Amino acid sequence: MTTIVQCPTCGAPVEWKAESTFRPFCSERCKLIDLGAWAAEEHAIAGNDLEDDLFSGDLPTRPH
């Protein structure tokens, strides 16, 4: 029995076997797209952290 997984990028069915080099992705393209998405997300989180730091720096001066 062959296990079929969904490509996380495009949702295409991918056979989970040694020949599926890019599993769980259907192709190298989808793998690269997903890695790029993660990298972009990490950058976004880093940017948010920086904003949060600036924001919390303003907190003590804010009337409570």
φ/ψ of 34, rounded to 5, equals -65, -45
Residue of 17, 18, 24, 26 that binds Zn ion (CB under 5 A): 26
Range list of H helices, 1-64: 28-58
Residue of 5, 10, 23, 34 that binds Zn ion (CB under 5 A): 10
Tell me: does residue 7 bind Zn ion (CB under 5 A): yes
Residue of 4, 6, 12, 41 that binds Zn ion (CB under 5 A): 12
Is 31 in contact with 25 (CB distance < 8 Å)?
A: yes
Bridge partner residues of 36 (DSSP)? none
Residues that bind Zn ion (CB under 5 A): 7, 9-10, 12, 26, 30
